[in-house]
């Protein structure tokens, strides 16, 4: 399968603004290290979406993912773009065309706005200026907002604690509808930690974010080998990802432990393969890989695997959410009598 991506912007009567789409596409192409990333404008500018789809068809692309640069799901996202996709799908039946989620209320947008604000104000304590707020007060107020905004009353205390931490980490209240926790998953994770089982992480960002202080209380080791030189060499030799090879290299440590995968769909796929091959099963898998390629599919496979899991449906996810779930369970393991 040959996959291509189209960054779709609204377009503008000011022709020069197409340069923003060009820059975003170029950055995305470099970040993903793949060549088949193009941009298109919905209105006013060239190239338009049908034209780029036709170009990709001629280039032998068999699956196209359209990435809409739209903040809200207005008429363009709900009607116009799906309508164009239906028309183009009929013209190019051999190509699978998928529409990714619009941007929405993503916490990373807030990060950008915070950077803008901090560049325009000083931190004086005079009336009207921004004031420093104690971190514990920020967290307390955040949890209060979550409690008032999201109905978690039907969940048990452990599930509520985990989901609250994940919502806090993401800054996205709508994520509550996407988080999925299997029956008994929290109890199994707490028990594993109390028994001193390790936490295996797919990437350093997950491993680094896990609370060493809480992990030390039950001597839980935090394991990650993604930067191991032997893993890097094997990944290159096998044509695989470092995360997948690192996960297999830690297969001997997953029995009865927690596996936290926040970034790499290939690591989650490799873990499921390891278990299918008959290796001992982890007590809990926290699977929240993020992205448009393989992430949603790997998480659906996890949910069908029969393993205990905490996951997120769709393309959303990330290391911060995996860390939040692990830390929530670590905290439960210090206070919970189950």
The span from the CA of 258 to the CA of 192, in Å, is 7
Q: Name the DSSP letter for residue 294.
A: S
Determine the 3-state secondary structure of 97 from DSSP.
Answer: strand
Nearest to 179 by CA among 193, 195, 162: 162
**How many other C-beta atoms are found inside a 10 Å radius of the C-beta of residue 216?**
11
Helices (DSSP H) in 157-256: which residue ranges?
Answer: 157-170, 185-194, 204-209, 212-217, 229-238, 242-249
CB atoms within 10 A of CB 144: 10
Through-space distance between the first and last CA atoms of the chain, rounded to whole angstroms: 48
Q: Quote the CA–CA distance of 337 and 97 in Å, as a whole number.
A: 50
Catalytic residue check, 168: yes
Q: Which two tokens stand for residue 99?
A: 């529409």
In the beta sheet, which residues pair with residue 15?
A: none
Q: How far apart are CA 296 and CA 306, in angstroms?
A: 17
Return d(Cα 260, Cα 326) in angstroms, integer. 7
Burial 103-122 (b: 16+ CB within 10 A, else e): beebeeeeeeeeeeeeeeee
> What DSSP string runs through 262-273?
SS-HHHHHHHHH
Residue 291 Cα distances to 21, 227, 232, angstroms: 20, 21, 22
Neighbours of 33 (CB within 10 A): 6
Which of 76, 92, 102, 168 is catalytic? The answer is 168
Collapse the DSSP code of 137 into the 3-class scheme (helix H, G, I; strand E, B; otherwise coil) and give the result.
helix
Active site residues: 168
């Amino acid at each position: 399968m040959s996959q291509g991506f189209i960054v779709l912007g609204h377009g503008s009567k000011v022709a020069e603004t197409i340069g923003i789409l060009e820059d975003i596409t170029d950055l995305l192409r470099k970040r993903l290290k793949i060549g088949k990333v193009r941009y298109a404008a919905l209105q006013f500018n060239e190239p338009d979406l049908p034209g780029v789809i036709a170009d990709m068809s001629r280039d032998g692309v068999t699956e196209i993912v359209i990435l809409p640069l739209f903040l809200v799901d207005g008429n363009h996202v709900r009607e116009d773009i799906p309508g164009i996709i239906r028309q183009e799908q009929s013209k190019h039946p051999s190509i699978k065309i998928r529409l990714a989620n619009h941007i929405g209320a993503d916490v990373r947008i807030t990060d950008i706005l915070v950077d803008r604000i901090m560049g325009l104000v000083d931190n004086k304590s005079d009336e009207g200026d921004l004031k420093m707020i104690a971190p514990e007060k920020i967290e307390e107020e955040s949890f209060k907002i979550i409690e008032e905004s999201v109905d978690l009353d039907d969940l048990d205390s452990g599930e509520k604690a985990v989901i609250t931490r994940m919502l806090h980490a993401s800054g996205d209240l709508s994520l509550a509808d996407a988080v999925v926790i299997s029956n008994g998953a929290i109890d199994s994770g707490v028990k594993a930690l109390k028994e001193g089982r390790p936490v295996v992480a797919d990437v350093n960002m997950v491993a680094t974010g896990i609370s060493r202080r809480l992990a030390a209380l039950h001597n839980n080791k935090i394991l990650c080998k993604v930067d191991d030189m032997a893993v890097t060499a094997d990944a290159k030799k096998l044509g695989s990802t470092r995360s997948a090879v690192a996960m297999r290299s830690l297969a001997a440590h997953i029995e009865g432990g927690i596996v936290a995968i926040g970034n790499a769909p290939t690591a989650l796929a490799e873990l499921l393969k390891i278990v299918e091959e008959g290796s001992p099963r982890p007590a809990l898998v926290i699977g929240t890989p993020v992205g448009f390629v393989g992430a949603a599919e790997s998480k659906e496979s996890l949910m069908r695997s029969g393993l205990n899991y905490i996951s997120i449906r769709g393309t959303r996810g990330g290391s911060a959410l995996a860390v939040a779930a692990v830390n929530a369970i670590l905290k439960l393991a210090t206070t919970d009598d189950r």
